[in-house]
Amino acid sequence: MKSPFPGMDPYIEECKLFEDFHNNLVSKIHDELAERVPDRYIVRTGERPYIVISDRDGKVEHVFVPDIGVVSPRDAQNPVAHQGSVAIAEPASDVDFISMQAFVSAEYRETFVEIYLSEPDRTLVTCIEVLSPSNKRYGTPGWNIYLRKRQGMLMGMANFVEIDLLRRGDKMPMLDPWPNSPYSLLMARKLFAPHCRVWPAHYRRPIPALPIPLSHPDADVMLNLQPLIDGVYARSRYDRDIDYTRPLTPPLSAEDNAWLAEQVRQRV
């Protein structure tokens, strides 16, 4: 079933479906661009992993970017058995033990899309980021790690596209105020960075098509996000996990609540 929202559905965020939505949307953006960019470009999906170690109160104690050789928690719980068939039991101890609680680690993986020139040397041309909730929590590892990359892009490292489809959280820092809209799309060309173009986006209107810059002399590729968003919603069957009667956080205006009630009524 289709979402009742012509634009972005805020209940995807409200009902804790955004992580799944984020990964699916990034994949669809990759597929769409891979079919449409000229042959001299290649499109790749990248991944930004980091591990956060927290204490029992949730306070972040340490953050690090894992190496490819880091053992996952699943691997740690299921170590490879030693060769041989003899099982060795730990000897019982007559010393009283002490119960302790270890730090808890959580691994985050944030995906994004990159466009490269394939020849003569593989060169990064454009990076497309879809913000995740961790990127919008000010002062957290997700914010800090992403902000460092963002600043590098806005200093002219490559063309940069940022898609913010989250109502919650803190906006990324800008010299000028963000538009008064629930969502926003940003595009910065390498040659004009840090100057950006920003488009307001809404749940009551389709998300605007977004120009994806390439290398001179190739023209921008227009990325129509709304069909991709609608496709992810339909294929993932989010309607089965969403309760459109629950209030949103942050709350909608009285006018938007009345509009939503009418949209849901027509949908049934």
Residue 40 has pLDDT above 50, yes or no: yes
Residue 113 has pLDDT above 70, yes or no: yes
Residue 56 has pLDDT above 70, yes or no: no
CA distances from 30 to 93, 149, 193, 196 (A): 57, 20, 24, 22
Q: Is 169 left (phi over 0), alpha (psi -120 to 50) or beta?
A: left
Contact (Cβ atoms closer than 8 angstroms) between residue 115 and residue 33: yes
Q: Residue 101: which residues within 8 A CB-CB, separation 6 or more?
A: 56
pLDDT digits (tens, 9 = 90+) for 141-165: 899 999 999 999 999 999 999 999 9
Between CA 189 and CA 154 the distance in angstroms is 9
Per-residue pLDDT band at 194 (split at 50, 70, 90)? very high
Residue 228 has pLDDT above 70, yes or no: yes
Residue 187 has pLDDT above 70, yes or no: yes
Q: What is the pLDDT of residue 51?
A: 77
> What is the per-residue DSSP string for 19-68?
HHHHHHHHHHHHHHHHHHS-TTEEEEEEEEEEEEEE-TT--EEEEEPPPT
Between CA 92 and CA 268 the distance in angstroms is 64
Q: What is the pLDDT of residue 265?
A: 84
Q: Characterize 116-139 residue by residue with b for buried, 16 or more Cβ atoms within 10 angstroms of its Cβ, and e for exposed.
A: bbeeeeeebbbbbbbbbbbbbeee
Residue 95 has pLDDT above 90, yes or no: no
Q: What is the pLDDT of residue 92?
A: 61
Q: CB count, 10 Å around CB of 144?
A: 14
pLDDT digits (tens, 9 = 90+) for 119-139: 888 999 999 999 999 999 999
Of 117, 122, 131, nearest to 48 (Cα)? 131
Between CA 9 and CA 171 the distance in angstroms is 19
Sign of the torsion formed by the C-alpha atoms of 188, 189, 192 and 198? negative
